[in-house]
Protein backbone atom coordinates (compact mmCIF):
# COMPACT_ATOMS: atom_id res chain seq x y z
CA UNK A 1 0.00 0.00 0.00
CA UNK A 2 1.26 3.49 -0.86
CA UNK A 3 2.19 5.80 2.01
CA UNK A 4 -0.14 8.61 1.06
CA UNK A 5 -3.22 6.45 0.59
CA UNK A 6 -6.08 7.64 2.77
CA UNK A 7 -9.64 6.43 3.17
CA UNK A 8 -12.61 8.57 4.02
CA UNK A 9 -15.28 6.52 5.77
CA UNK A 10 -18.62 8.26 5.69
CA UNK A 11 -21.50 7.04 7.85
CA UNK A 12 -25.14 8.02 8.04
CA UNK A 13 -25.05 9.40 11.55
CA UNK A 14 -22.58 10.91 13.99
CA UNK A 15 -23.64 8.07 16.31
CA UNK A 16 -22.13 5.56 13.89
CA UNK A 17 -19.02 7.70 13.38
CA UNK A 18 -18.45 7.66 17.13
CA UNK A 19 -19.13 3.92 17.36
CA UNK A 20 -16.41 3.40 14.75
CA UNK A 21 -14.11 5.85 16.52
CA UNK A 22 -14.48 3.89 19.77
CA UNK A 23 -13.62 0.61 18.02
CA UNK A 24 -10.67 1.98 16.01
CA UNK A 25 -9.25 3.64 19.12
CA UNK A 26 -9.49 0.38 21.04
CA UNK A 27 -7.76 -1.52 18.24
CA UNK A 28 -5.01 1.11 17.89
CA UNK A 29 -5.61 2.13 14.26
CA UNK A 30 -4.36 5.47 12.89
CA UNK A 31 -7.23 7.76 12.02
CA UNK A 32 -8.72 11.19 12.55
CA UNK A 33 -12.21 12.62 12.77
CA UNK A 34 -12.54 15.29 10.07
CA UNK A 35 -15.37 17.29 8.50
CA UNK A 36 -16.87 15.39 5.57
CA UNK A 37 -15.08 16.67 2.41
CA UNK A 38 -17.60 18.72 0.43
CA UNK A 39 -16.78 16.96 -2.83
CA UNK A 40 -17.70 13.60 -1.30
CA UNK A 41 -20.93 14.48 0.43
CA UNK A 42 -22.99 17.55 1.18
CA UNK A 43 -23.32 16.31 4.74
CA UNK A 44 -22.54 18.82 7.44
CA UNK A 45 -21.07 16.31 9.87
CA UNK A 46 -17.84 14.43 10.49
CA UNK A 47 -16.28 11.34 9.01
CA UNK A 48 -13.33 9.04 9.67
CA UNK A 49 -10.06 9.74 7.81
CA UNK A 50 -8.24 6.43 7.98
CA UNK A 51 -4.50 6.14 7.45
CA UNK A 52 -4.40 2.37 7.84
CA UNK A 53 -5.35 -0.32 5.39
CA UNK A 54 -9.09 -0.63 5.00
CA UNK A 55 -8.87 -4.41 4.81
CA UNK A 56 -7.34 -4.53 8.30
CA UNK A 57 -10.08 -2.32 9.70
CA UNK A 58 -13.07 -3.89 7.96
CA UNK A 59 -13.53 -6.96 10.17
CA UNK A 60 -13.99 -4.76 13.23
CA UNK A 61 -16.62 -2.43 11.81
CA UNK A 62 -18.46 -4.35 9.15
CA UNK A 63 -21.65 -4.63 11.22
CA UNK A 64 -21.98 -0.82 11.16
CA UNK A 65 -23.80 0.43 8.10
CA UNK A 66 -21.54 2.63 5.97
CA UNK A 67 -22.66 5.27 3.51
CA UNK A 68 -19.47 5.67 1.47
CA UNK A 69 -15.86 4.50 1.55
CA UNK A 70 -13.60 6.71 -0.60
CA UNK A 71 -9.93 6.16 -1.39
CA UNK A 72 -7.76 9.27 -1.76
CA UNK A 73 -4.39 8.57 -3.38
CA UNK A 74 -3.05 12.09 -2.90
CA UNK A 75 -4.52 13.36 -6.17
CA UNK A 76 -7.83 11.65 -6.91
CA UNK A 77 -10.79 10.42 -4.92
CA UNK A 78 -12.13 7.02 -5.84
CA UNK A 79 -15.28 5.64 -4.33
CA UNK A 80 -15.33 1.91 -3.65
CA UNK A 81 -17.80 0.45 -6.10
CA UNK A 82 -21.11 -0.32 -4.43
CA UNK A 83 -21.19 -0.42 -0.68
CA UNK A 84 -18.01 -1.92 0.71
CA UNK A 85 -20.03 -3.59 3.45
CA UNK A 86 -23.54 -3.74 4.95
CA UNK B 1 -36.48 23.43 53.93
CA UNK B 2 -37.67 19.84 53.50
CA UNK B 3 -38.28 18.59 49.97
CA UNK B 4 -40.70 15.65 49.74
CA UNK B 5 -41.70 15.94 46.09
CA UNK B 6 -39.18 13.62 44.45
CA UNK B 7 -41.89 11.89 42.42
CA UNK B 8 -42.23 15.17 40.49
CA UNK B 9 -38.48 15.66 40.14
CA UNK B 10 -35.57 14.70 42.36
CA UNK B 11 -34.05 17.48 44.44
CA UNK B 12 -31.33 18.14 45.36
CA UNK B 13 -29.31 16.64 42.52
CA UNK B 14 -26.06 14.80 43.22
CA UNK B 15 -22.83 16.78 42.92
CA UNK B 16 -21.93 14.66 39.90
CA UNK B 17 -24.95 16.01 38.00
CA UNK B 18 -23.94 19.58 38.66
CA UNK B 19 -20.27 18.92 37.80
CA UNK B 20 -21.07 17.30 34.46
CA UNK B 21 -23.36 20.15 33.40
CA UNK B 22 -20.85 22.72 34.60
CA UNK B 23 -18.06 21.12 32.58
CA UNK B 24 -20.26 20.83 29.52
CA UNK B 25 -21.52 24.40 29.42
CA UNK B 26 -18.16 25.91 30.43
CA UNK B 27 -15.80 23.91 28.28
CA UNK B 28 -17.65 21.96 25.59
CA UNK B 29 -20.85 23.71 24.61
CA UNK B 30 -20.83 22.98 20.85
CA UNK B 31 -23.82 21.86 18.81
CA UNK B 32 -23.44 18.07 18.57
CA UNK B 33 -22.83 16.40 15.24
CA UNK B 34 -23.40 19.49 13.17
CA UNK B 35 -20.25 21.40 12.52
CA UNK B 36 -17.31 19.04 12.44
CA UNK B 37 -15.13 21.17 14.73
CA UNK B 38 -13.69 19.92 18.00
CA UNK B 39 -16.40 21.34 20.27
CA UNK B 40 -19.17 19.96 18.08
CA UNK B 41 -17.56 16.54 18.10
CA UNK B 42 -16.98 16.68 21.86
CA UNK B 43 -20.67 17.50 22.35
CA UNK B 44 -21.58 14.54 20.10
CA UNK B 45 -19.28 12.33 22.20
CA UNK B 46 -21.16 13.40 25.33
CA UNK B 47 -24.40 12.21 23.75
CA UNK B 48 -22.81 9.04 22.41
CA UNK B 49 -21.43 8.12 25.82
CA UNK B 50 -24.77 8.79 27.54
CA UNK B 51 -26.61 6.76 24.92
CA UNK B 52 -24.25 3.82 25.38
CA UNK B 53 -24.32 3.97 29.18
CA UNK B 54 -28.08 4.30 29.44
CA UNK B 55 -28.59 1.43 26.99
CA UNK B 56 -26.32 -0.74 29.08
CA UNK B 57 -28.15 0.37 32.24
CA UNK B 58 -31.45 -1.09 30.99
CA UNK B 59 -29.78 -4.04 29.25
CA UNK B 60 -30.72 -2.83 25.78
CA UNK B 61 -28.92 -4.44 22.87
CA UNK B 62 -28.25 -1.54 20.54
CA UNK B 63 -27.61 2.03 21.65
CA UNK B 64 -28.97 3.53 18.41
CA UNK B 65 -32.39 2.32 19.57
CA UNK B 66 -32.14 4.56 22.65
CA UNK B 67 -33.82 7.83 21.76
CA UNK B 68 -33.54 11.06 23.72
CA UNK B 69 -36.68 13.13 24.10
CA UNK B 70 -37.77 16.19 26.03
CA UNK B 71 -39.43 14.21 28.83
CA UNK B 72 -41.31 11.03 29.72
CA UNK B 73 -44.45 12.51 28.20
CA UNK B 74 -42.80 13.00 24.80
CA UNK B 75 -41.48 9.42 24.92
CA UNK B 76 -44.97 8.09 25.62
CA UNK B 77 -46.48 10.29 22.91
CA UNK B 78 -44.00 8.98 20.36
CA UNK B 79 -44.67 5.39 21.42
CA UNK B 80 -48.46 5.73 21.37
CA UNK B 81 -49.03 8.14 18.47
CA UNK B 82 -46.22 6.59 16.45
CA UNK B 83 -47.50 3.04 16.82
CA UNK B 84 -51.29 2.92 16.92
CA UNK B 85 -53.41 3.17 13.82
CA UNK B 86 -57.08 3.18 12.93
CA UNK B 87 -59.00 0.15 14.17
CA UNK B 88 -56.27 -0.84 16.59
CA UNK B 89 -57.22 -1.94 20.08
CA UNK B 90 -55.10 -1.00 23.08
CA UNK B 91 -55.20 -2.17 26.68
CA UNK B 92 -54.21 0.04 29.59
CA UNK B 93 -54.91 0.35 33.32
CA UNK B 94 -56.86 2.66 35.58
CA UNK B 95 -53.63 3.81 37.26
CA UNK B 96 -52.18 5.58 34.25
CA UNK B 97 -50.92 9.14 34.12
CA UNK B 98 -52.40 11.62 31.64
CA UNK B 99 -49.23 11.29 29.56
CA UNK B 100 -50.68 7.90 28.61
CA UNK B 101 -54.40 8.64 28.75
CA UNK B 102 -54.37 11.89 26.78
CA UNK B 103 -52.57 10.59 23.68
CA UNK B 104 -54.82 7.50 23.82
CA UNK B 105 -57.96 9.65 24.04
CA UNK B 106 -56.66 11.82 21.19
CA UNK B 107 -56.35 8.71 19.03
CA UNK B 108 -59.76 7.48 20.11
CA UNK B 109 -61.31 10.76 19.02
CA UNK B 110 -59.22 11.21 15.87
CA UNK B 111 -58.81 7.68 14.59
CA UNK B 112 -61.41 5.69 16.46
CA UNK B 113 -58.98 3.37 18.21
CA UNK B 114 -60.52 1.16 20.86
CA UNK B 115 -59.30 1.37 24.46
CA UNK B 116 -59.84 -1.20 27.22
CA UNK B 117 -59.05 0.07 30.69
CA UNK B 118 -58.31 -2.64 33.24
CA UNK B 119 -59.50 -1.50 36.65
CA UNK B 120 -57.03 -1.92 39.45
CA UNK B 121 -58.14 -2.36 43.04
CA UNK B 122 -57.97 0.56 45.49
CA UNK B 123 -54.66 -0.91 46.63
CA UNK B 124 -53.34 -0.70 43.08
CA UNK B 125 -53.44 -4.41 42.39
CA UNK B 126 -53.95 -5.46 38.82
CA UNK B 127 -55.82 -8.62 37.87
CA UNK B 128 -53.48 -10.09 35.29
CA UNK B 129 -56.11 -12.60 34.15
CA UNK B 130 -58.28 -9.67 33.18
CA UNK B 131 -55.54 -8.42 30.86
CA UNK B 132 -55.51 -11.81 29.20
CA UNK B 133 -59.31 -11.77 28.86
CA UNK B 134 -59.21 -8.32 27.25
CA UNK B 135 -56.90 -9.34 24.42
CA UNK B 136 -58.65 -9.25 21.04
CA UNK B 137 -57.61 -10.02 17.48
CA UNK B 138 -56.82 -6.35 16.82
CA UNK B 139 -55.00 -5.69 20.13
CA UNK B 140 -51.81 -3.92 19.20
CA UNK B 141 -50.37 -2.82 22.52
CA UNK B 142 -50.57 -2.80 26.28
CA UNK B 143 -49.54 0.48 27.89
CA UNK B 144 -48.77 0.24 31.57
CA UNK B 145 -46.93 2.12 34.28
CA UNK B 146 -44.18 0.29 36.14
CA UNK B 147 -44.65 2.33 39.31
CA UNK B 148 -47.68 4.43 40.21
CA UNK B 149 -47.10 8.16 40.65
CA UNK B 150 -50.09 8.30 43.02
CA UNK B 151 -49.88 5.30 45.35
CA UNK B 152 -46.44 3.87 44.61
CA UNK B 153 -47.57 0.38 43.56
CA UNK B 154 -45.30 -1.43 41.11
CA UNK B 155 -46.56 -3.86 38.49
CA UNK B 156 -45.01 -7.28 37.77
CA UNK B 157 -43.88 -6.70 34.18
CA UNK B 158 -42.49 -10.21 33.67
CA UNK B 159 -45.81 -11.83 34.67
CA UNK B 160 -47.76 -9.42 32.48
CA UNK B 161 -45.51 -10.18 29.50
CA UNK B 162 -46.38 -13.87 29.88
CA UNK B 163 -50.10 -13.33 29.23
CA UNK B 164 -49.98 -10.98 26.26
CA UNK B 165 -48.00 -13.08 23.77
CA UNK B 166 -46.74 -10.90 20.93
CA UNK B 167 -48.69 -7.76 21.84
CA UNK B 168 -46.40 -4.75 22.10
CA UNK B 169 -45.63 -3.91 25.72
CA UNK B 170 -45.17 -0.17 26.28
CA UNK B 171 -43.92 0.63 29.78
CA UNK B 172 -44.02 4.00 31.54
CA UNK B 173 -41.06 3.73 33.92
CA UNK B 174 -40.85 7.37 35.02
CA UNK B 175 -41.24 6.52 38.71
CA UNK B 176 -38.96 3.50 38.79
CA UNK B 177 -36.02 3.85 36.44
CA UNK B 178 -32.79 4.50 38.28
CA UNK B 179 -33.91 3.23 41.65
CA UNK B 180 -35.49 -0.08 40.62
CA UNK B 181 -33.93 -2.64 38.31
CA UNK B 182 -35.33 -2.62 34.78
CA UNK B 183 -34.16 -5.14 32.22
CA UNK B 184 -35.54 -4.79 28.70
CA UNK B 185 -34.80 -8.46 27.98
CA UNK B 186 -35.87 -10.07 31.24
CA UNK B 187 -39.00 -7.96 31.58
CA UNK B 188 -39.91 -8.44 27.92
CA UNK B 189 -40.40 -4.73 27.31
CA UNK B 190 -40.92 -3.58 23.72
CA UNK B 191 -40.92 0.17 24.27
CA UNK B 192 -39.59 1.63 27.50
CA UNK B 193 -40.47 5.29 28.15
CA UNK B 194 -39.08 7.41 30.96
CA UNK B 195 -37.92 10.79 32.18
CA UNK B 196 -34.29 11.35 33.18
CA UNK B 197 -34.78 13.90 35.98
CA UNK B 198 -36.24 11.71 38.69
CA UNK B 199 -34.23 8.71 39.95
CA UNK B 200 -31.74 9.01 37.08
CA UNK B 201 -30.78 12.36 38.67
CA UNK B 202 -30.43 14.33 35.44
CA UNK B 203 -31.78 17.82 34.81
CA UNK B 204 -35.36 18.61 33.91
CA UNK B 205 -36.12 18.75 30.18
CA UNK B 206 -34.74 15.33 29.34
CA UNK B 207 -36.51 12.06 28.71
CA UNK B 208 -35.63 8.93 26.78
CA UNK B 209 -37.06 5.75 25.34
CA UNK B 210 -35.79 2.42 24.10
CA UNK B 211 -37.50 0.87 21.09
CA UNK B 212 -36.93 -2.82 20.60
CA UNK B 213 -35.55 -4.01 17.27
CA UNK B 214 -38.32 -4.68 14.76
CA UNK B 215 -40.67 -1.97 15.99
CA UNK B 216 -41.12 0.97 13.66
CA UNK B 217 -42.81 4.13 14.86
CA UNK B 218 -44.04 7.08 12.85
CA UNK B 219 -41.85 10.04 13.91
CA UNK B 220 -43.54 13.02 15.57
CA UNK B 221 -40.89 15.58 14.59
CA UNK B 222 -39.03 16.33 11.38
CA UNK B 223 -36.09 18.63 10.75
CA UNK B 224 -32.34 19.09 10.91
CA UNK B 225 -30.29 16.10 12.03
CA UNK B 226 -26.80 16.97 10.76
CA UNK B 227 -27.11 13.92 8.52
CA UNK B 228 -28.24 13.55 4.90
CA UNK B 229 -28.28 17.32 4.59
CA UNK B 230 -28.62 17.21 0.81
CA UNK B 231 -32.09 15.73 1.18
CA UNK B 232 -35.34 17.48 2.10
CA UNK B 233 -36.69 14.11 3.22
CA UNK B 234 -36.24 13.18 6.87
CA UNK B 235 -33.77 10.27 7.34
CA UNK B 236 -35.13 6.86 8.24
CA UNK B 237 -32.07 5.61 10.13
CA UNK B 238 -31.62 5.61 13.88
CA UNK B 239 -31.34 7.56 16.09
CA UNK B 240 -31.91 10.48 13.68
CA UNK B 241 -35.29 9.17 12.59
CA UNK B 242 -36.77 10.16 15.96
CA UNK B 243 -34.41 12.96 17.02
CA UNK B 244 -34.00 16.31 15.31
CA UNK B 245 -33.15 19.89 16.07
CA UNK B 246 -30.52 20.87 18.62
CA UNK B 247 -30.82 18.41 21.50
CA UNK B 248 -30.66 19.16 25.21
CA UNK B 249 -26.95 18.35 25.40
CA UNK B 250 -26.41 19.99 28.83
CA UNK B 251 -29.28 17.80 30.07
CA UNK B 252 -27.69 14.74 28.51
CA UNK B 253 -24.38 15.67 30.20
CA UNK B 254 -26.29 15.92 33.50
CA UNK B 255 -27.62 12.40 32.92
CA UNK B 256 -24.04 11.14 32.64
CA UNK B 257 -23.45 12.71 36.05
CA UNK B 258 -26.60 11.06 37.41
CA UNK B 259 -25.52 7.66 36.08
CA UNK B 260 -22.05 8.14 37.62
CA UNK B 261 -23.73 8.87 40.96
CA UNK B 262 -25.91 5.74 40.72
CA UNK B 263 -22.88 3.64 39.85
CA UNK B 264 -20.89 5.06 42.75
CA UNK B 265 -23.73 4.72 45.26
CA UNK B 266 -25.13 1.43 44.03
CA UNK B 267 -28.66 1.00 42.76
CA UNK B 268 -29.41 -1.49 45.55
CA UNK B 269 -28.38 1.00 48.21
CA UNK B 270 -30.56 3.70 46.64
CA UNK B 271 -33.52 1.33 46.54
CA UNK B 272 -32.91 0.20 50.10
CA UNK B 273 -32.70 3.76 51.42
CA UNK B 274 -35.90 4.73 49.63
CA UNK B 275 -37.63 1.70 51.10
CA UNK B 276 -36.46 2.60 54.60
CA UNK B 277 -37.86 6.09 54.22
CA UNK B 278 -41.15 4.83 52.81
CA UNK B 279 -41.54 2.29 55.62
CA UNK B 280 -40.73 4.90 58.26
CA UNK B 281 -43.28 7.37 56.92
CA UNK B 282 -46.02 4.76 56.51
CA UNK B 283 -45.38 3.27 59.98
CA UNK B 284 -45.55 6.62 61.70
CA UNK B 285 -48.51 7.99 59.76
CA UNK B 286 -50.47 4.80 60.46
CA UNK B 287 -50.46 5.83 64.12
CA UNK B 288 -52.40 9.03 63.35
CA UNK B 289 -56.15 8.63 64.05
CA UNK B 290 -57.33 11.05 61.41
CA UNK B 291 -54.90 10.32 58.57
CA UNK B 292 -56.11 8.13 55.72
CA UNK B 293 -53.33 6.33 53.84
CA UNK B 294 -54.02 5.05 50.33
CA UNK B 295 -52.61 2.03 48.55
CA UNK B 296 -50.92 -0.98 50.08
CA UNK B 297 -47.51 -0.39 51.55
CA UNK B 298 -46.74 -3.86 52.86
CA UNK B 299 -43.77 -5.58 51.26
CA UNK B 300 -40.78 -4.02 49.58
CA UNK B 301 -41.95 -3.50 46.03
CA UNK B 302 -43.54 -0.06 46.19
CA UNK B 303 -41.79 3.12 45.13
CA UNK B 304 -41.62 5.77 47.86
CA UNK B 305 -44.79 7.57 46.82
CA UNK B 306 -47.33 7.88 49.60
CA UNK B 307 -50.76 9.38 49.14
CA UNK B 308 -52.75 10.50 52.18
CA UNK B 309 -55.51 12.75 53.37
CA UNK B 310 -56.38 14.23 56.74
CA UNK B 311 -60.04 13.69 57.60
CA UNK B 312 -62.16 16.82 57.13
CA UNK B 313 -59.35 18.76 55.49
CA UNK B 314 -58.79 19.41 51.81
CA UNK B 315 -55.42 18.27 50.40
CA UNK B 316 -54.82 21.85 49.27
CA UNK B 317 -55.22 23.08 52.87
CA UNK B 318 -52.72 20.51 54.12
CA UNK B 319 -50.29 21.43 51.33
CA UNK B 320 -50.66 25.10 52.21
CA UNK B 321 -49.91 24.47 55.89
CA UNK B 322 -46.90 22.30 55.06
CA UNK B 323 -45.56 24.89 52.64
CA UNK B 324 -45.78 27.57 55.36
CA UNK B 325 -43.40 25.38 57.38
CA UNK B 326 -41.12 24.98 54.34
CA UNK B 327 -42.11 21.37 53.71
CA UNK B 328 -42.71 20.80 50.03
CA UNK B 329 -45.15 18.13 48.87
CA UNK B 330 -47.56 17.85 45.97
CA UNK B 331 -51.32 17.95 46.41
CA UNK B 332 -54.23 17.37 44.06
CA UNK B 333 -54.66 14.89 41.23
CA UNK B 334 -51.02 14.44 40.14
CA UNK B 335 -52.08 14.50 36.47
CA UNK B 336 -53.73 11.12 37.07
CA UNK B 337 -57.51 11.57 37.39
CA UNK B 338 -58.17 7.89 36.67
CA UNK B 339 -55.83 6.77 39.42
CA UNK B 340 -57.66 9.02 41.87
CA UNK B 341 -61.01 7.61 40.73
CA UNK B 342 -59.54 4.16 41.34
CA UNK B 343 -58.59 4.93 44.93
CA UNK B 344 -61.73 6.99 45.58
CA UNK B 345 -60.13 10.42 45.95
CA UNK B 346 -61.47 12.14 42.84
CA UNK B 347 -61.84 15.13 42.41
CA UNK B 348 -60.13 16.50 45.54
CA UNK B 349 -57.07 14.30 45.22
CA UNK B 350 -54.54 13.59 47.93
CA UNK B 351 -51.44 14.92 49.63
CA UNK B 352 -48.50 13.09 48.06
CA UNK B 353 -45.30 12.54 50.02
CA UNK B 354 -42.29 11.37 48.02
CA UNK B 355 -38.94 11.25 49.82
CA UNK B 356 -35.72 10.81 47.88
CA UNK B 357 -32.31 9.31 48.44
CA UNK B 358 -31.08 12.53 50.07
CA UNK B 359 -33.99 12.80 52.52
CA UNK B 360 -32.75 12.51 56.11
CA UNK B 361 -34.53 10.76 58.97
CA UNK B 362 -34.66 14.09 60.82
CA UNK B 363 -36.53 15.59 57.83
CA UNK B 364 -39.16 12.90 58.28
CA UNK B 365 -39.34 13.56 62.04
CA UNK B 366 -39.92 17.27 61.37
CA UNK B 367 -42.53 16.45 58.71
CA UNK B 368 -44.37 14.17 61.15
CA UNK B 369 -44.27 16.82 63.85
CA UNK B 370 -45.86 19.39 61.53
CA UNK B 371 -48.42 16.83 60.31
CA UNK B 372 -49.40 16.21 63.94
CA UNK B 373 -50.06 19.93 64.38
CA UNK B 374 -52.08 20.15 61.15
CA UNK B 375 -54.08 17.01 61.97
CA UNK B 376 -54.98 18.45 65.39
CA UNK B 377 -56.24 21.76 64.03
pLDDT tens-digit readout, B167-185: 999 999 999 999 999 999 9
Per-residue pLDDT at B350: 95
The CATH number of the domain holding residue B284 is 3.90.1150.10
| Alpha carbon B53 to its chain's center | 18
> Are residues B29 and B141 both part of a single domain?
yes
Contact yes or no for B292/B332 (Cβ under 8 A): no
Domain extent for B240: 15-264
Which residue(s) pair with B20 in the sheet? none
Nearest residue, CB atoms, A42 vs list B34, B40, B230: B230
Distance from CA of A56 to the nearest CA of B (A): 24
Q: Which of B264, B282, B311 is a domain's end point?
A: B264
Query: Quick check: bond before B333 cis, omega within 30?
Result: no
pLDDT tens-digit readout, B236-249: 999 999 999 999 99
Using alpha carbons, select from B76, B61, B48, B88 the residue that is nearest to residue B214.
Answer: B61
Over residues B354-364, the mean pLDDT reads 98
- Chain B contacts of A44, Cβ < 8 Å? 34-36, 226, 229
Q: Which of B264, B282, B297 is a domain's end point?
A: B264
Using alpha carbons, select from B156, B105, B101 the residue that is nearest to residue B341.
Answer: B101
Distance from CA of A29 to the nearest CA of B (A): 19
Are B44 and A35 within 8 A, CB to CB?
no
| Alpha carbon A57 to its chain's center | 10
Largest CA distance in chain B: 70
| Alpha carbon A83 to its chain's center | 12
Which chain B residue shows the shortest CA-CA distance from A65? B237
The CATH number of the domain holding residue B175 is 3.40.640.10
The verdict on A61 touching B (C-beta cutoff 8 Å) is no
> Are residues B34 and B128 both part of a single domain?
yes
Residue B25: DSSP 8-state:
I
Dihedral pair phi/psi, residue B323, rounded to 5°: -60, -35
- The residues, any chain, with a CB within 8 Å of residue B312's CB and separated by 6 or more, are B290
| Domain architecture of chain A: domains with CATH | 6-76 (3.30.70)
Q: Helix or strand or coil: residue B2? A: strand
Per-residue pLDDT at A85: 61
> Are residues B342 and B199 both part of a single domain?
no
> Are residues B278 and B245 both part of a single domain?
no
The verdict on A52 touching B (C-beta cutoff 8 Å) is no
Q: In what order do the strands lie in the sheet with B114-118?
A: B66-69, B207-211, B191-195, B168-172, B139-145, B89-93, B114-118
Q: In angstroms, rounded to a whole number, what is the distance separating the alpha carbons of residues B371 and B298?
A: 22
Nearest residue, CB atoms, B36 vs list A22, A42, A46: A46
Are B227 and A43 within 8 A, CB to CB?
yes
Number of domains in chain B: 2
The kind and range of the H/E element at B82 are helix B72-83
> Are residues B288 and B171 both part of a single domain?
no
Q: In angstroms, rounded to a whole number, what is the distance separating the alpha carbons of residues B28 and A23?
A: 23
Q: Which of residues 15-34 of A touch B (CB under 8 A)?
A: 15-19, 22, 33-34
Per-residue pLDDT at A4: 66
| Residue B265 CA neighbour count, 13 Å, CB half | 24
Are B237 and A65 within 8 A, CB to CB?
yes
State the complex-level ipTM. 0.86
> Are residues B30 and B20 both part of a single domain?
yes
> Are residues B144 and B172 both part of a single domain?
yes
Q: In angstroms, rounded to a whole number, what is the distance separating the alpha carbons of residues A69 and B85?
A: 40
Per-residue pLDDT at A84: 60
Per-residue pLDDT at B82: 98
Contact yes or no for A43/B228 (Cβ under 8 A): yes
> Are residues B244 and B330 both part of a single domain?
no
Residue B97, Cβ neighbours under 10 Å: how many? 23
> Are residues B153 and B70 both part of a single domain?
yes
Which chain A residue shows the shortest CA-CA distance from B41? A46
pLDDT tens-digit readout, B262-290: 999 999 999 999 999 999 999 999 999 99
Q: Which of B264, B297, B325 is a domain's end point?
A: B264
> Are residues B307 and B344 both part of a single domain?
yes
> Are residues B68 and B20 both part of a single domain?
yes
Using alpha carbons, select from A61, A22, A85, A28 the residue that is nearest to residue B44.
Answer: A22
* pLDDT tens sequence for chain A (86 residues): 445 689 999 999 999 999 999 999 999 999 999 988 888 887 778 999 999 989 999 999 999 999 899 999 888 899 875 556 66
Which residues of chain B are at the A interface, by a Cβ-Cβ cutoff of 8 Å?
A: 32-37, 40-41, 44-45, 47-48, 51, 63-64, 225-230, 235, 237-240
| Residue A23 CA neighbour count, 13 Å, CB half | 17
Nearest residue, CB atoms, B36 vs list A12, A18, A35: A35
pLDDT tens-digit readout, B26-80: 999 999 987 788 999 999 999 999 999 999 999 999 999 999 999 999 999 999 9
In the predicted structure, residue B359 carries a pLDDT above the cut 80: yes
Per-residue pLDDT at B16: 98
> Are residues B366 and B229 both part of a single domain?
no
Amino acid sequence: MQRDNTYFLIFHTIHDVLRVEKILKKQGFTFELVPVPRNLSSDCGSCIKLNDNIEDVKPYIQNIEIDKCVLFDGVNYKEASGRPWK
Amino acid sequence: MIYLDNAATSFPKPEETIEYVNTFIRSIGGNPGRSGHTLSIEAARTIFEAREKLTQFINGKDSERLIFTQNGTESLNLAILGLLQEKDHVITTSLEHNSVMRPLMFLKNEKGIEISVIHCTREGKLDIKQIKRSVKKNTKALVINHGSNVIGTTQPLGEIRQVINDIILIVDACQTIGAYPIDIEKDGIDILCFSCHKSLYGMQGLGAMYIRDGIELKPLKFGGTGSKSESIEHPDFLPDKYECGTPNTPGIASLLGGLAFIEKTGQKNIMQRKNELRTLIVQELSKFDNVILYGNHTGNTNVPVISLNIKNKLPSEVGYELNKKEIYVRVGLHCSPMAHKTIGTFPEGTVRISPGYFTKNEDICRFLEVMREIAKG
